[in-house]
Structure 1
Amino acid sequence: MGSNTFGRRRHMCEWADLAADDTDLAAVLAEGQGHHLSPFHLLSVPGMSASDQRTCSELWTRERRVAAQLERDALAFSFQPSEKRKERHKIRLGYLSNDFHEHATAHLLIEVLEAHDRDAFEVHAYSFGADDGLPMRRRLMAACDRFVDISAMADNAAAQLIYDDAVDILIDLKGFTSQARSGIALLRPAPVVVNYLGYPGTMGAGICDYVITDPFLTPPASAAFYSEAFAYMRNTYHPHGRRTPVGDRPSRREAGLPADGFVFCCFNQPYKISPQMFDIWCRLLACVPDSVLWLLDTPHAAGNLRSEAIARGIDARRLVFGANMGQAEHLRRLQLADLMLDTSPFNAHTTASDALWVGLPFVTCPGDTFPSRVAGSILHAIGLPDLVTDSPDAYFDLAYTLATDEERLADVRARLAANRLTAPLFDVTAYTADLESLYGAMSARHRAHLPPAIIGMHG
């Protein structure tokens, strides 16, 4: 079974053969035959461990690493201190991405780029995505000291450009996500290469030196499951600014919601919804009269989810599907929900911090993998660790309690409102300073000819 078939079934919430597929995946990894299995697809499979995910990344990149080494030998990059580098006191950062336009990654990162200390850092961006002509693209370009469109360049040409620009730290924002070009990072055009933000997992040996993370997300004991050294942020690895406008809340009718009843929601992409999690959601609908579940409307998945709800004894009309829309309109409508339900083992990321930004709490249940712990990291950084549960049963119990106990939910919402502008999650200035301290430590270790190691552990 190839990655395309596996991915299509999850995107469509076509679950009839999913358990057998997942068993096949485990067997493929155990036999060391996963070189055609995309690591990204493995992130949403229940039961896959962080060790399995590293194995998949190593297999996926095995042949690519061999080919990249030949190309690296031909390029002959050398990072001995040059006169140009000696004269420069600033650390030159190179952010590499396909998403420098109207995209979730851009919304998360833009205020960080704008907040970088220009006395200590130069910010370069290397874009291999389309210019959509929208305001976010212009804002990103303005936030960088140098912005280069490398979309028409081959990987080796792009790597040569980055090397010629004397970038000190190359930050890969895509990993193995859609439209990624990990081949550029594989060519090692900078002395330090970092895995950050876009891909929630390890990229395997020979690509990145560090992964930006936090102690909740990847505890020190999990280091063996990552090829990269941990670069620990003080609070959460996840950035989110304070300048995003929320807008006025629309009417329930305008959003396609019933006039009354509790609104559970989850606007995660459908491939993140597992049958096990959907079981819990349907139990909640059964136990909370007149409640509805508000989901993202995507082709093919909506019909399958309605069928799955009926199979669990739930009226399909209690699933409400909202259109995929721009961030501004999405944040407006999100205020109508009462409680967000997180997915597992692939959590909400931007969807989670956006929910908290508009004042919407959510419940999560972390596992032992990077993507299953992101939402818990975010909740800790906003001062709501009590919304992080330790089992599926506890997840159900807490969601049910919040849906049926008005005072309990009001207390959570009040604490969220009080923490919104004081807790670390949305403090971009402090976040950026913490990130810069990690970049500084990486650069210092390289200059001292020391190998990558865990950095940023705070006492």
Structure 2
Amino acid sequence: MSLIPSVQPFHAISYSIDPMLALEISRKYVAYCSVIASRYSLPSFNYPAALPIKSEGGSKRLRVGYFSSDFGNHPLSHLMGSVFGMHDRENVEVFCYALSANDGSEWRLRIQSEVEHFIDVSSMSFDMISRMINEDKIQILVNLNGYTKGARNEIFAMQPAPIQISYMGFPGTTGADYIHYLVTEEFVSPSQFNHIYSEKIVHLPHYAVQRGVQPDQIIFTDVAMKGEHIKRSSLAYLFLDTPLCNAHTTGTDVLWAGLPMVTLPLKKMATRVAGSLCLATSVGEEMIVNR
């Protein structure tokens, strides 16, 4: 087996490389995860019925498992903190499998308190977690990591659930045949789809003064806590999105704060997220440009 590429899939989606090359990089990691999974020599899993499972109370509910290392103070929880507890409990039974230990944050505590089943599996092995998921009769398992820090995609390679989905954490395809669906939101307009994006990207710090930006208008800051980060939006009149990899959670933050953005969609999913966010505001077409 060849070595996995030095360029990781998460970096590949933000580099200016051909999408097919990015896909091939992801597939190399898929092969690696499959080899690791095969070393455990697990027998084939028995899957629950496709229909919702009948509970003790007599009603049938769909069992959905969310799988992530980011249940805590992380952009994923900032975006999805309410989602896990919002499912209709008469029809859906939700399990959250946490790959990270409790960080004591409000985000972790909120998810734990709102979801029906929250299980910390951070100290468990790949095979133990896979068996647990299968024994819980999960019918749809949602991968919220993809190729991000803390991911354990080897578990998905073991296929403990009959339907496995990639969502939110990784803005692109995993390239895995054991991930059956990618949940995404894209927008396409003929002028944008057919446009050849050949414009040179200008890096602001190098040309700021020549373009009329005063030195005291450029403020370099360190990473800030969520509340402070949101407050910074009030310092600006406009948010300039980054084309090669859009602002995703940050884009949501600034729009929620009432700060308009300008975004240039390109071809990859990671370059089109901000445009989708803009359209969700109902005035998005004014914030989306093609050059």
Q: If the length of structure 1 is used for normalisation, what is the TM-score? A: 0.56
Q: Secondary structure at the match of 2:96?
A: strand
Counterparts of 1:100 and 1:114, CA distance in 2 = 13
1:166 to partner: Cα distance = 0.7
5+ unaligned residues in a row in structure 1: which ranges?
Answer: 1-31, 223-275, 293-317, 392-459
1:364 to partner: Cα distance = 1.0
Distance 1:285 1:170, change over 3 A: farther
1:380 to partner: Cα distance = 1.1
Given candidates 150, 154, 167, the residue that maps to 2:125 is 154
Matched AA of 2:244: P
Q: Secondary structure at the match of 1:91?
A: strand
1:82 to partner: Cα distance = 9.5
Q: Secondary structure at the match of 1:185?
A: helix
Counterparts of 2:3 and 2:15, CA distance in 1 = 17
Q: Secondary structure at the match of 1:101?
A: coil
Higher helix proportion: 1
Partner of 1:326: 225
Aligned: 1:216 with 2:187: yes
Partner of 1:79: 47
Given candidates 148, 154, 170, the residue that maps to 1:199 is 170
Partner of 1:361: 260
Given candidates 36, 39, 58, the residue that maps to 2:27 is 58
**Is the 1:98–1:127 Cα contact (8 Å) retained in structure 2?**
yes
Given candidates 3, 6, 10, the residue that maps to 1:40 is 10
**Is the 2:53–2:63 Cα contact (8 Å) retained in structure 1?**
no
Partner of 2:239: 340
Which protein is bigger by CA-based radius of gyration?
1
Matched AA of 1:326: M
1:117 to partner: Cα distance = 1.4
Aligned: 1:290 with 2:258: no
Q: How many residues align?
A: 278
Counterparts of 1:201 and 1:69, CA distance in 2 = 25
User: 1:26-425, aligned counterparts within 5 Å?
Assistant: 35-46=5-16, 48-69=17-38, 71=40, 74-79=42-47, 81=49, 85-86=53-54, 89-216=60-187, 277-279=201-203, 282-283=206-207, 285-290=209-214, 319-383=218-282, 384-391=284-291
The C-alpha deviation readout for 1:356-394, integer Å capped at 9, x for no partner, is: 111111111111101011111111111222211112xxx
State the superposition RMSD in angstroms.
2.6
1:347 to partner: Cα distance = 0.7
Identity of aligned residues (%): 32
Counterparts of 1:285 and 1:91, CA distance in 2 = 58
The C-alpha deviation readout for 1:313-358, integer Å capped at 9, x for no partner, is: xxxxx53112312111211222111211111211100100100111
1:36 to partner: Cα distance = 4.2
5+ unaligned residues in a row in structure 2: which ranges?
Answer: 194-199
Matched AA of 1:341: L
Counterparts of 2:53 and 2:220, CA distance in 1 = 54
Q: If the length of structure 2 is used for normalisation, what is the TM-score? A: 0.87
1:34 to partner: Cα distance = 5.4
Q: Secondary structure at the match of 2:269?
A: coil
**Is the 1:50–1:370 Cα contact (8 Å) retained in structure 2?**
no
Distance 1:329 1:77, change over 3 A: same
The C-alpha deviation readout for 1:374-421, integer Å capped at 9, x for no partner, is: 111111111222211112xxxxxxxxxxxxxxxxxxxxxxxxxxxxxx
Q: Secondary structure at the match of 1:118?
A: coil
**Is the 1:158–1:184 Cα contact (8 Å) retained in structure 2?**
yes
Q: Secondary structure at the match of 2:60?
A: coil
